[in-house]
């Protein structure tokens, strides 16, 4: 990936919208990120060239095959022209008719095969390039700290890797070979034309370059229209997603009809806008076709008049021959064809550039990495309990962290023992959650040490240390996995159902699971649909209690809960602490803090 020295960031959203387009608007979004003074445009040209160099050979071969296939038409045309010229002159043709048939067909078959091979190489190139992007970018992004504020959003990275990266396929498959053909074919046909008749050459020469000119004009008009349409698509999608998330609410509030009406209006308005864009797009391709058709028609008419002897100029030494006339007429459409192909594939290039631009932008972002890489450290059930004690005491000394906003958080020194418990309190923004992240090695402190039984927490031992940690986040993100799988993430083989139910009991979550329709096999919605907020928190706590954790780090475990549920959660945490597990909570809740053996208070605001 490119290592551009630039720290500015482009708004993901604007990029994203631009990405979804289907026409050829060029991306030129200036930076409106955190630092508005710096403007940096990521054109993507450099990155695209770099990506192409990964599969340079395949791309070149694909282009060469495609050009070769197009050039073979010249020979086919010559064979046909020869046949008709011989017919008119009543002379024997260069090739006997049967041979003309065979050679014409063989050349045709060869062209089909060349095209097939060309697209095969382009496909291979696409696979290599796309696989490279997916692998490298993901590997690069995954080692970021989960708390890195410069990290791309989840949705942005997902859509970049899943959908946008795939946009390089059509670019390599359609645009690149068309580009090669457009470089070679018009020139080759122009040479043939001038060789036989300068008038035909001039006709083509004039009609050809006019096409890009008109295209540019029409494309210019299209840009404004399509941007409006893109906004509409984006807003319709947002509106639709909102309604889809609120499906149950629409149902219980009896708002079906009004929702449908509103959606219908929006869908129709989008349809009208899309048509406006399409009309302009059709107009531009119509212009293209018109020029191509006129070019062919003019060639035909000129050649016809010249053959009649009415026009005595244009060829060298008399009117063009019948052979030349037919030959040139057969070539004329193919003079325009590569240009038309290129125009059709133009938006593929615009898309590829936008993707490459986004990659450039991502490569240029500042990166904060975490300690370690989350690799697997072998661990068995038997020695777990023993191993977990070896990490204590946990001592923090002179610990200091500087946020990206240049705020310095200085932490008080403290020591926790293997069955101790600690509350971290303090106002919002004083660095409570940050301390939990530092203890888990998700962030790197600027100064000070965290030591575990006398050994410094560092790159070499952090993954091992983390195996003994349990993390209780504020919110639940159930993925597409069952409750059982969720409870077992990262656990060694052989955890029995009995152990799971015991953990559920410890967290007061047994009833929650028993009343789910499918028990441990239930799959909950992405935000925990089917269980209440308190129940979800208890399930997360149960997950922390599975196995024999050395430390539980809990972030605001009682926030947003009613008193009764909060009390249950507090008791669960305390009972875990009494069973030999070290519990560290970051909390606002005074009752929670008072139940912990130790407590530290952060004051914040050391700038």
Interacting residues with another protein between 148 and 207 (CB under 8 A): 154, 157-158, 161-162, 166, 169, 173
Q: Which C-beta is closer to another protein: that of 173 or that of 178?
A: 173
State the nearest-atom distance from the C-beta of 85 to another protein, in Å.
8
The residue among 28 and 529 lying less far from another protein, judged by its C-beta, is 529
Distances (CA, A) of 553 to 385, 497, 566: 18, 24, 17
Contact call for residues 58 and 173 (beta carbons, < 8 A): no
Spatial CA neighbour of 10 closest among 359, 405, 369: 359
Residues 480-499 as x/- pattern, contact with another protein by CB under 8 A:
x---x----xxx-----xx-
Please say whether the beta carbons of 570 and 564 come within 8 A.
no
In the bound complex, what is the minimum distance in angstroms from residue 455's beta carbon to another protein?
18
Q: How do 414-416 and 421-425 pair as beta strands?
A: unpaired
Contact between residue 314 and residue 198 where contact means Cβ atoms under 8 Å apart: yes
| Binding string, residues 63-92; x marks residues near another protein by CB under 8 A | -----------------x--xxx-xxx---
Among 341, 360, 361, 535, binds another protein (CB under 8 A): 535
Q: Please report the DSSP string for 235-254 in residue order.
A: HHHHHHHHHHHTHHHHHHTT
Query: Among 183, 191, 206, 241, which residue interacts with another protein (rule: CB under 8 A)?
Result: 241
Based on CB atoms, which residue is closest to another protein, 48 or 200?
200
Q: Which is nearer to another protein, 261 or 402 (CB)?
A: 261
Query: Among residue numbers 305 through 334, which ones bind another protein (CB under 8 A)?
Result: 305, 307-310, 319, 322, 325-326, 329
DSSP state string for 42-53? --SHHHHHHHHH
4 vs 307, which CB is nearer to another protein?
307
CB of 94 to another protein, least distance (A): 13
Record the tokens describing residue 150, joined without a space: 């410069």
Q: Which of 565, 582, 586, 596 binds another protein (CB under 8 A)?
A: 565
N- to C-terminal Cα separation, the chain:
36
Residue with tokens 């560092």: 458
The two tokens of residue 236 are 């319709």
User: Rule CB under 8 A: is residue 245 a binding residue for another protein?
Assistant: yes
DSSP string, 537-562: HHHHHHHHHSS--SEEEEESTTTT--
Q: What is the Cα–Cα distance from 96 to 92, expressed in whole angstroms?
A: 8
DSSP code string of 20-73: T--S-PPP-PPP-SS-TT------SHHHHHHHHHHTHHHHHHHHHHHHHHHHHH
Burial of 419 (0-12, 13-18, 19+ CB in 10 A): middle
Residues 6+ apart with CB under 8 A from 29: 10, 11, 14, 15, 18, 41
| Nearest residue (CB) to another protein, 489 versus 591 | 489
Stretch of 108-116, 181-189, 194-202, 349-357 lying at the interface with another protein (CB under 8 A) = 108-116
- Beta strands at 598-601 and 455-456: parallel, antiparallel or unpaired: unpaired
Residue 96 CB-density burial (10 A; 0-12 exposed, 13-18 middle, 19+ buried): exposed
Residue 57's alpha-carbon distances to 48, 62, 428, 493, in angstroms, are 15, 8, 57, 47
Task: Select from 41-49, 216-224, 265-273, 453-461 the region that touches another protein (CB under 8 A).
Answer: 265-273
Residue keyed to tokens 């430390």: 551
Choosing from 518, 590, 594, 605, the residue that interacts with another protein (CB under 8 A) is 518
Q: Do 19 and 379 contact (CB within 8 A), yes or no?
A: no
Q: Would you tell me how many other CB atoms lie within 10 Å of the CB of residue 290?
A: 13
Stretch that binds another protein, among 7-15, 28-36, 46-54, 115-123 (CB under 8 A): 115-123
Phi, psi at residue 605, to the nearest 5°? Answer: 55, 45
Q: How far is the CB of 100 from another protein (least distance, A)?
A: 7
CB-wise, 5 or 496, nearer to another protein? 496
The interface region with another protein, picked from 50-58, 126-134, 207-215, 584-592 by CB under 8 A, is 126-134
**Residue 15-54 contact track with another protein, rule CB under 8 A, x = bound:** ----------------------------------------
* Shortest Å distance, C-beta 28 to another protein: 26
Using CB under 8 A, which of 13, 38, 413, 562 touches another protein? 562
Cβ distance to another protein smaller for residue 5 or 154: 154
Q: Are 341 and 31 in contact (CB under 8 A)?
A: no
Q: Which is nearer to another protein, 41 or 278 (CB)?
A: 278
Q: Is residue 264 near another protein by the rule CB under 8 A? A: yes
Minimum gap (Å) between residue 227 Cβ and another protein? 19
Instruction: Give Cα 534 distance to the centre of its chain.
Output: 35
Shortest CB 406 distance to another protein, Å:
25
Which positions from 449 through 468 interact with another protein, judged by CB under 8 A?
463, 466-467
User: Does 533 participate in binding another protein (rule CB under 8 A)?
Assistant: yes
Site for another protein in 344-403 (CB under 8 A): 370, 372-377, 379
Span interacting with another protein, options 27-35, 200-208, 291-299, 415-423, rule CB under 8 A = 291-299
Interface region with another protein, contact rule CB under 8 A, candidates 42-50, 107-115, 421-429, 586-594: 107-115
Nearer to another protein, 459 or 526 (CB): 526
Among 28, 312, 527, 578, binds another protein (CB under 8 A): 527
How many chain residues are in contact with another protein, going by CB under 8 A?
Answer: 152
Nearer CB in complex with another protein: 430/565: 565
76 conformational bin, left if phi > 0, alpha if psi -120 to 50, beta if neither: alpha
Question: Binding residue for another protein (CB under 8 A) from 142, 191, 221, 447?
Answer: 142
Q: Does 244 participate in binding another protein (rule CB under 8 A)?
A: yes
């Amino acid at each position: 990936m490119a290592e551009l020295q630039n720290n500015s960031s482009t708004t993901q959203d604007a990029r994203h919208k631009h990405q979804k387009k289907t026409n050829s608007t060029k991306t030129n979004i200036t930076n409106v990120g955190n630092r508005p003074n710096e403007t940096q445009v990521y054109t993507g040209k450099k990155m695209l060239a770099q990506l192409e160099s990964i599969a340079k050979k395949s791309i070149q071969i694909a282009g060469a095959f495609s050009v070769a296939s197009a050039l073979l038409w010249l020979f086919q045309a010559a064979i046909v022209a020869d046949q008709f010229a011989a017919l008119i002159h009543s002379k024997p043709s260069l090739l006997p008719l049967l041979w003309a048939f065979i050679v014409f067909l063989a050349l045709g078959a060869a062209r089909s095969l060349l095209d097939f091979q060309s697209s095969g190489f382009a496909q291979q190139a696409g696979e290599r390039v796309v696989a490279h992007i997916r692998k490298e970018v993901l590997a690069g992004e995954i080692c970021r700290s989960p708390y890195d504020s410069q990290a791309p959003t989840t949705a942005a990275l997902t859509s970049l890797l899943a959908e946008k990266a795939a946009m390089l396929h059509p670019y390599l498959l359609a645009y690149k070979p068309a580009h090669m053909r457009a470089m070679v074919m018009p020139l080759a046909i122009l040479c043939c034309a001038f060789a036989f008749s300068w008038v035909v050459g001039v006709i083509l020469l004039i009609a050809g370059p006019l096409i890009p000119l008109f295209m540019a004009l029409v494309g210019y008009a299209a840009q404004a229209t399509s941007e409006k349409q893109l906004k509409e698509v984006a807003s319709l999608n947002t509106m639709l997603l909102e309604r889809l998330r609120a499906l149950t609410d629409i149902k219980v509030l009896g708002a079906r009809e009004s929702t449908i009406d509103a959606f219908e209006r929006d869908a129709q308005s989008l349809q009208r806008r899309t048509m406006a864009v399409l009309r302009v797009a059709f107009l531009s391709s119509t212009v293209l076709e018109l020029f191509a058709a006129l070019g062919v028609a003019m060639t035909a008419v000129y050649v016809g008049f010249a053959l009649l002897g009415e026009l005595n100029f244009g060829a060298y030494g008399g009117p063009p021959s019948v052979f030349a006339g037919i030959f040139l007429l057969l070539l004329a459409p193919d003079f325009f064809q590569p240009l038309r192909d290129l125009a059709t594939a133009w938006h593929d290039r615009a898309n590829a550039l936008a993707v490459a631009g986004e990659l450039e932008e991502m490569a240029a972002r500042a990166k904060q990495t975490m300690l370690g890489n989350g690799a697997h450290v072998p661990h068995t059930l038997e020695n777990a309990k023993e191993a977990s004690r070896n990490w204590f005491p946990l001592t923090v000394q002179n610990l200091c962290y500087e946020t990206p906003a240049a705020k310095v958080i200085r932490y008080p020194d403290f020591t926790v023992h293997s069955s101790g418990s600690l509350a971290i309190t303090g106002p919002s923004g004083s660095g409570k959650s940050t301390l939990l992240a530092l203890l888990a090695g998700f962030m790197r402190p600027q100064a000070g040490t965290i030591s575990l039984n006398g050994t410094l927490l560092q790159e070499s031992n952090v993954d091992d240390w983390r195996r003994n940690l349990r993390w209780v986040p504020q919110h639940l993100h159930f993925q597409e996995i069952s409750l059982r799988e969720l409870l077992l993430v990262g656990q060694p083989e052989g955890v029995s159902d009995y152990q799971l139910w015991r953990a559920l009991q410890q967290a007061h979550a047994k009833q929650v699971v028993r009343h789910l329709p499918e028990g441990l096999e239930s799959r909950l919605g992405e935000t925990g649909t089917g269980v209440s907020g308190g129940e979800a928190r208890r399930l997360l706590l149960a997950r922390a209690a599975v196995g024999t954790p050395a430390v539980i780090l809990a972030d605001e475990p009682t926030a947003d809960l009613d008193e009764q549920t909060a009390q249950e959660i507090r008791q669960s945490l305390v009972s875990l602490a009494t069973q030999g597990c070290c519990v560290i909570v970051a909390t606002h809740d005074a009752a929670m803090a008072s139940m912990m053996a130790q407590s530290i208070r952060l004051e914040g605001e050391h700038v």
